[in-house]
Structure 1
Amino acid sequence: MLRSIVATYREAFSGLSRSVWLLSIASLINRAGTMVMPFLVLFLVKKRGFTEIQAGQTLALYGLAAMAASYYGGRLCDRFGPLRVMQWSLVLTGLSFWALGAAPGRLAISAMVLVLALVGEVFRPANLSALTVASDAGERARSIALMRLAVNAGMTVGPSVGGLLAALSYGWLFLVDGATSILAAGLLFFAFPGARTPGAPAPRPAGSAPARSPFRDLPVMAILGLMFLLNTVTFQTVSTFALTLRDLDGFSEARIGVTLAVNTVIIILFEMVLIHSLARRDPLKVAGLGAFLFCGGLALLPLGRGFGYVILTVAVWTVGEMLTFPLVTSAIADRAPQELRGTYMGLLNFSFASAFVVAPLVGTWVYQHLGARTLWLGCGVVGLVVGAGFYAVAAGAGRPAGVQQPQAEM
């Protein structure tokens, strides 16, 4: 039995390209240094004299800039190639973290937060675009799952170490976060040398018709709308979820941290194998089931009490998360023409960034005025709508535009 388990995991991780592994390692390094953003509000309030409202406004500024960066980051990928965008985004992000740590007043801090979002958030669509370029259509979901594994593994390290460093000095957070960004950039410069940036768009053949804009690709626009709805639920896990555990279940900060860590551990252990086992399934239909489980797991939260029950709900919505996000990303990449893949990935990331701005505002209002039960059961209703929507798109979508495109050099 042990041999069978080992063989299953070996098969799930085998066959991915060198480029996919290198991109994932770079993301692991970058995410292992994620320390500033989880503690930014505390830093602004405790060390820079911001009020809680002013700190919240600063985060909102970051979110709005991230929305813009998501879209223009995708366009930059189509123009210059995703790896070049990733490399310089990481370099500029590292420098911006160092500058933010030294910024003296509210105006300077707000300006650097704006710059940080504009240069840092272009990394996300570039990362997805580079990953899809590096993968054959049949391997994209697995490649994205590997990237998510790397990101989650890094995120288990960064905030934990950041908490220890913050106890010594908040200055260490900015120093280390900036250094890991530049280290990840160095890996990409070293791993992909040469005059031509890997993943750069190939010239369009003479006389060929222009690629279809994603705004005219109705299935993709429907998917993006559904992802926005789903992400308004997703980002409750970093806002009202902790409030619910504190108020309804009496959890301490430490127990809330352990609860959230269960999500990460499940993803690290099982997502690659799960996605590999679903390789022959319709990705959008699987994503429909995933959206239902994700939102349904959160809807269970106010219906029971106790640590064991909460962990069970986390396991349910984590399975839904694993079934949804890699497969939706892969489905959009398959529909994207090669020369517009960055734009498609930018719009997908825009659905995340815009939901990041909206979700905490809506979620905290519902939580405060209507209660936790209404909030989480409402999330379950969203899951039904999004799940049915993915099934409908899967039934009505035409042949993906990008599937027959030749794989770009990577």
Structure 2
Amino acid sequence: MNKLYQSYLGSFTGLRKEIWLLSLITLINRAGTMVIPFLSLYLTKSLDFSLEQVGWILSFFGLGSVTGSWIGGWLTDKIGHYRTMAISLIGSSLFFVLLQVPDTFWTICLGIYLVMCVADMFRPAVFVAISAYSKPQNRTRSVTLIRLAINLGFSAGPAVGGLIIAHIGYGGLFWVDGITCLIAGLLLLKLLHPKKSVEEVEAPITSSQSAFSDRSYLLFIFTMILFGFIFVQYFSTMPLFYAEVHQLDEFHIGLLMGLNGLIIFLFEMPLIKYLENTKLSALMNVILGFLLCGISFLLLNLTGWIGILIVGMLFLTIGEMIAFPFSNTFALSRSDGKKKGSYMALYSIAFSISHIFGHNSGMHLIGNFGFAFTWYIMLGLAIIGILLLLILRKKLEKETIEISR
């Protein structure tokens, strides 16, 4: 047992102090993001919107995320990741509080769009910050530590959010989101000094190539859109599945979704360290994660046993633990020697596009064909994504051969 414990602690060694501070800031920020997991329930139960209307509102969520990610990448290349993160955190604190004001369809669409424009400026900036504050050999584990902070926050957030809804109402969630974003922004300014960055020391900019002209990277981004399309169902349509088919209330839905973050917090770092020591490439690990996420949807159609919800969540969680860190590492490595802001903005935009089409399509699929059909569609998209990644792997092997000649 002691050897296992020491091995677990060893998986966290070698990371820079700045990465730990960035993780703390991210943890506080994400612990307060309670509105997002309950957004579909808030819109249907509190404001009485239809599933189709919720789908369109969540499309504005994704559209704002795309805009914010693009602005964040542009700002990161212009003013640096530090200032961009500070603007995003402090700005989004105000917008989250104001989001409780609109109550009509179009005002909510506008409110969601503006919130995500500001909030998701943080995403490409934090990715570049990871590259700036970590050594190349520690990138994947640095990404994983940030993800641990995110998921620890998400494990506590939904559970606490369920309690807040039960005792105070949905309005309390907006205030908590705003306050925690403000605290995270102030801590960033207080604890993380921009001059500590070692950005571009390992890989100075030697090419002005745009991410949009990198065809291999664009194919990778397309597969990430598919992966995000599948993944976002667990935060929009899946809570409805839990409530309507299995009759779970908000508190138990929060606990089930919180299980995802708790497992990631406990096991992702050792898992990533183990996988780093295998012969699997970053791309092959992404393929493995894709497969496990696809299986998680298949399992839900095999039985009506309520325990399958936990099993499905376990498969999704393991797939997520593998796919996200290694896809991030692949994107960062592909951006070496180039303008990282544009590359990581495109990586962030991939998941923003998933929000635009994933939530909306999922809601419409469920409304017209039911949950079971929708889960089979998600499995099919996972298979397509895996095939495209295998094609990309062959393409990259050819690129390597051509460079070595």
Deviation at 1:37, TM superposition (A): 3.6
Q: Identify the residue that residue 274 of structure 1 maps to in structure 2.
A: 271
Q: Which amino acid aligns with 2:15?
A: L
- The secondary structure found in structure 1 opposite 2:208 is coil
Structure 2 distance, partners of 1:43, 1:229, is 26
**CA distance, structure 2, for counterparts of residue 381 and residue 110 of structure 1:** 30
Mapped partners of 1:46, 1:237: distance in 2 = 18
Contact 2:59–2:357 (CA<8 Å) still a contact in 1? Answer: no
Q: C-alpha offsets along residues 143-198 of structure 1, whole Å, 9 cap, x if unaligned?
A: 1111111111112223333344443365543333222112111111112336x584
Match of 1:237 in 2: 234
Is residue 222 from structure 1 mapped to residue 219 from structure 2 by the alignment? yes
* Cα distance, 1:55–1:363 mapped onto 2, change above 3 Å: closer
SS of equivalent residue, structure 1 residue 306:
coil
User: Residues 33 and 11 (structure 1 numbering): CA distance in 2 closer, same or farther, change over 3 Å?
Assistant: same
Aligned residue for 2:168? 168
Q: Deviations over 1:226-250 (max 9, x none)?
A: 0111111111112332343445545
How many percent identity over aligned positions? 31
Task: Tell me the distance in 2 between the aligned counterparts of 1:260 and 1:138.
Answer: 32
Structure 1 CA distance, aligned partners of 2:55 and 2:376?
A: 27
Moved more, 35-44 or 377-386: 35-44
- Match runs of 1:278-357 below 5 Å: 278-280=275-277, 281-357=280-356
Aligned to 2:185: 185
Q: List gaps (5 residues or longer) in structure 2.
A: 401-405
Tell me the CA shift for residue 332 of structure 1: 0.5
Confirm or deny: 8 A CA contact 1:131 1:144 kept in the other structure: yes
1:69 partnered with 2:68: yes
Q: What's the secondary structure of 1:305's corresponding residue?
A: coil
The equivalent of 2:12 in structure 1 is 13
Contact between 1:62 and 1:114, CA under 8 Å: does it hold in 2? yes
Question: How many angstroms apart in 2 are the aligned matches of 1:104 and 1:255?
Answer: 27
Partner deviation per Cα, 1:294-331 (whole Å, 9 max, x = no partner): 11221121012313333222222221111111100110
1:184-225, CA deviations, whole angstroms, 9 ceiling, x for partnerless residues?
Answer: 11111112336x5846779x99xx864211111122111100
1:325-347 CA distance string (max 9 Å, x none): 11001101011035511111111
Structure 1 stretch displaced more, 209-218 or 67-76: 209-218
Q: Secondary structure at the match of 2:307?
A: helix
Structure 2 residue aligned with 1:87: 86
Q: Give the C-alpha shift of residue 58 in structure 1.
A: 4.4
Q: CA deviation at 1:79?
A: 1.3
2-side partners of 1:140 and 1:132: how far apart? Answer: 7
Q: Corresponding residue for 2:390?
A: 391
Name the TM-score, length of structure 2 as normaliser: 0.86
- Inter-partner Cα distance in structure 1 for 2:102 and 2:351: 28
Q: How many residues align?
A: 394
State the match for 1:256 in structure 2.
Answer: 253
Residues 255, 35 of structure 1: alpha-carbon distance in 2 compared, 3 angstrom cutoff: closer
Distance in 2 (alpha carbons) for counterparts of 1:248 and 1:173: 26
Structure 1 position 278, deviation (Å): 1.2
Q: Residue type matched to 2:343 in 1? A: Y
Residues 49-68 of structure 1: matches in 2 within 5 Å? 51-52=49-50, 57-68=56-67
Summarize deviations over 1:69-120 as a string: whole Å, max 9, x none: 1112111111111111001111111122344456698877665444322211
Change in Cα spacing, 1:165 to 1:257, as seen in structure 2 (3 Å) is: closer
For 1:80, the aligned partner's letter is I
CA 1:197/1:114 → structure 2, altered by over 3 Å: closer, same or farther? farther
Aligned pair in 2 of structure 1 residues 239, 278: CA closer, same or farther (>3 Å)? same
Distance 1:171 1:259 in 2: 22
CA distance in 1, matches of 2:45, 2:363: 23
User: TM-score under structure 1 normalisation?
Assistant: 0.85
The alpha-carbon deviation at position 257 of structure 1 amounts to 3.4
Rate the CA distance shift 1:213–1:268 in 2: closer, same or farther, 3 A.
same
Aligned partner letter, 1:180: T
Q: Is the 8 A contact 1:63 1:356 kept in 2?
A: yes
CA distance in structure 2 between the aligned counterparts of 1:69 and 1:361, rounded to whole angstroms: 19
Residue 51 to residue 389, structure 1, CA distance change in 2 (3 Å): closer
Q: Cα distance 1:395–1:242, how it changes in 2: closer, same or farther (>3 A)?
A: same
Deviations 1:362-385 (A, max 9, x none): 223333333333322222222222
In structure 2, relative to structure 1, the CA distance for the partners of 1:82 and 1:168 (3 Å cut) is same
Mapped partners of 1:179, 1:390: distance in 2: 41
